[in-house]
């Protein structure tokens, strides 16, 4: 079990939204926190606001994530908690996505997490007391919706990565563990995700503020409360950190469709 008080934590995508909420809560619980983000100005502001250290990184660049880890070790001597959270949420129907669109979403949302795990896992394993990895996915990995094809592909990937990692760590008796964070609707800047894309060329992706549609009726969580969900999951070594337990019915409906497919025919 990773002790939060006195730990050194790194949160990617920490300049805004859920990452900033998680970082705020980690600071409140006594961690020394590094926030890492691609938006330099917002990152500096956020770090000052919550009393964290800012380190600029583009998580889609493996060398950048290595440099982030090296800077954290140089400054603090160790790292105990890593939250691979940086992500984007633009939409487009699968039939319209360009290959550059696929690559952009996968590079940030899936490779960003892969780079974080690949780089930080050996550092956590080197600690006598181990450590904890939290990977931010989405409810979209439990019940994917139209328009979110590229996004859901990455979130299924992050879910698979985290579940397998957790099982392998338990099997090997490691003192490092992993949690899959599956946020529902949280009040953040994800509705403006394309701000983090350079010149895209031809692209079908567009930003959507889903709070302006039917989803506006849902419960929208404050990111610091998402942070509380995360620190509780770290303290209890939970496999999943769930922000919207009331959405189970929707997930169950999805799972029942799978169950019906299993039951439809006898074995051949
Ligand atoms: N907001 C929600 O309702 C919701 C729901 C489910 C999942 N999520 C997930 O939560 C995570 C955080 O998103 P958010 O909602 O807080 O959005 P946000 O836009 O408020 O924050 C995302 C942060 O990630 C940073 N970022 C983007 N690309 C980056 C890159 N290549 N390298 C480093 N940093 C980068 C952004 O600059 C930003 O600070 C994402 O993985 C998203 O998929 C959000």
Read off the pLDDT of residues 179-213 as tens digits, 9 standing for 90 and up. 999 999 999 999 999 998 987 789 999 999 999 99
* Active-site annotation, residues: 151
Percent of the chain topping pLDDT 90: 97
Ligand 1 mean position, distance from CA 86 (Å): 5
Task: Look at residue 41 and give its three-state secondary structure.
Answer: helix
| Tokens representing residue 219 in the block | 């419960």
pLDDT of residue 42: 98
- Give the bridge partners for 36, in sequence order: 12, 55
- Write down the mean pLDDT value for the chain: 97
Q: Does the C-beta of 185 come closer than 6 Å to ligand 1?
A: yes
| Tokens representing residue 78 in the block | 């160790």
Pocket probe for ligand 1: among 190, 225, 241, the residue whose CB has the most ligand atoms within 8 Å is 190
pTM summary value = 0.98
**Pairwise CA distance, residues 20 & 43, whole Å:** 9
Ligand 1 mean position, distance from CA 109 (Å): 9
Percent of the chain topping pLDDT 70: 100
* DSSP for 96-164, written as a single string: G--HHHHHHHHIIIIIHHHHHHHHHHHHHHTSTT-EEEEEE--GGGTS--TTBHHHHHHHHHHHHHHHH
Ligand 1 mean position, distance from CA 172 (Å): 32
Q: If we measure between CA atoms, which residue out of 37, 32, 40 comes closest to residue 18?
A: 37
Each residue of 79-129: pLDDT tens digit? 999 999 999 999 999 999 999 999 999 999 999 999 999 999 999 999 999
pLDDT of residue 96: 98
In order of their start, the domains of the chain are 8-263 (3.40.50.720)
Are 147 and 97 in contact by the 8 Å Cβ rule? The answer is no
- CA-nearest residue for atom 31, ligand 1, is 58
């Amino acid at each position: 079990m990773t002790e939060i008080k006195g730990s050194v934590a790194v949160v990617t995508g920490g300049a805004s939204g859920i990452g900033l909420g998680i970082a705020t809560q980690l600071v409140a619980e006594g961690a020394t926190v590094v926030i890492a983000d691609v938006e330099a100005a917002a990152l500096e502001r956020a770090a000052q606001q919550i009393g964290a250290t800012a380190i600029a990184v583009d998580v889609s660049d493996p060398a950048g994530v290595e440099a982030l880890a090296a800077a954290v070790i140089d400054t603090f001597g160790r790292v105990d908690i890593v939250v691979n959270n940086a992500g984007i949420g633009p939409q487009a129907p699968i039939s319209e996505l360009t290959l550059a669109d696929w690559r952009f979403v996968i590079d940030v949302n899936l490779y960003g997490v892969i780079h974080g795990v690949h780089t930080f896992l050996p550092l956590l394993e080197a600690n006598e007391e181990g450590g904890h990895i939290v990977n931010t996915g989405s409810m979209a990995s439990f019940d994917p919706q139209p328009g979110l094809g590229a996004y859901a592909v990455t979130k299924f990937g992050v879910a698979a990565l985290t579940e397998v990692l957790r099982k392998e760590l338990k099997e090997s008796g490691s003192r490092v563990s992993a949690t899959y964070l599956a946020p529902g609707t949280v009040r953040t800047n994800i509705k403006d995700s394309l701000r983090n894309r350079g010149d895209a060329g031809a692209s079908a992706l567009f930003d959507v503020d889903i709070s302006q549609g039917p989803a506006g009726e849902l419960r929208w969580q404050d990111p610091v409360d998402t942070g509380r969900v995360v620190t509780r999951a770290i303290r209890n070594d939970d496999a999943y950190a769930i922000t919207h337990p009331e959405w189970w019915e929707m997930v169950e409906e999805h799972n029942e469709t799978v169950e019906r497919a299993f039951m439809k025919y006898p074995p051949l």
